[in-house]
Amino acid sequence: ALAKARAWIADVDEIQNGDHYPCLDDLEGLVAVGRDLPVGLEELRQLELQVLTAHSWREKASKTFLKKNSCYTLLEIVAFKEGEQKEKEGILQLRRTNSAKPSPLALLTTASSTASICVCGQVPAGVGALQCDLCQDWFHGRCVTVPRLLSSQRSSLPSSPLLAWWEWDTKFLCPLCMRSRRPRLETILALLVALQRLPVRLPEGEALQCLTERAISWQGRARQVLASEEVTALLGRLAELRQRLQAESKPEESLAY
């Protein structure tokens, strides 16, 4: 037993004194072996604490990214997608297929065998349907989570028609396209700060670092484009159009009352 304990301690020293932090899987393997030894070891308690801290970080990251009852793992959500070009081609093909489907308003008067199917299993028809901005498929507004509204007054009207784009804070993504909670960048950076304190390497942590670097790089390019004269002029014209459309809609709402 003492010989096994000394060999185990030697393995711990080797993995802890390496050039890089040990991987979580390696630490879990050492902990499993150490628990079977009939000897009380201080190194075992230290490893158990490191493993527990790593699991706590991963659980917090999972709650940050994963939706309730999600079928995806944290690594599947944050990892750089394999075959990204293939996925883009698949999305484009799906958009073409869904764009060819009749709109819910058209289904009120015409039956179609190629109609969209909502997550509830029924065909969305009528004014209350929403179209996913990514895959272009249609869904019942009551069956999916709609974008956060800028105008709470308009949303309080139960009989109001489908909201226009200027009343939405973000574009609508269906549950099939929006696979995670999409946390804010500040929240992700806080997770990375906590990750740096861990003396353990996690595949989810390394994938999250790569994801954050991509997000920050995209953010920088987007800001550069938005700061260009052409885009600034277009945004100004859109703001004027928004004000004009809102001004035109107010008299109609007054007449409705």
Q: What is the pLDDT of residues 55-88, one digit of tens each?
A: 999 999 999 999 888 888 899 888 766 556 667 7
Whether the model clears a pTM of 0.75, i.e. scores above it, the answer is: no
- Give pLDDT tens digits for 204-224: 999 999 999 999 999 999 999
Answer CATH for 101-179 from 3.30.2000, 3.30.70, 3.40.50, 3.30.40: 3.30.40
Q: Domain spans of the chain?
A: 1-81+182-226, 101-179
Which tokens hold the place of 220?
């920088």
Which regions of the chain does DSSP assign to beta strands (E)?
Answer: 129-131, 138-140
Higher pLDDT pick, 115 / 51: 51
> Which three-class secondary structure state does DSSP give residue 131?
strand
**Does residue 157 surpass a pLDDT of 70?**
no
Inter-residue contact 173 to 132 (CB < 8 Å): yes
Length of the chain: 257
Q: Give the mean pLDDT of the chain.
A: 82
pLDDT digits (tens, 9 = 90+) for 25-37: 999 999 999 998 8
What's the rounded Cα separation, in Å, for the pair 94 and 178?
A: 15
Residue 146 phi/psi, 5-degree rounding, is -85, 160
Gyration radius of the chain over CA positions: 26
Instruction: State how beta strands 138-140 and 129-131 pair.
Output: antiparallel
Q: Please check the confidence at residue 19 and state whether its pLDDT lies above 50.
A: yes
Distance, in Å, from the CA atom of 68 to the CA atom of 72, rounded to the nearest integer, reads 10
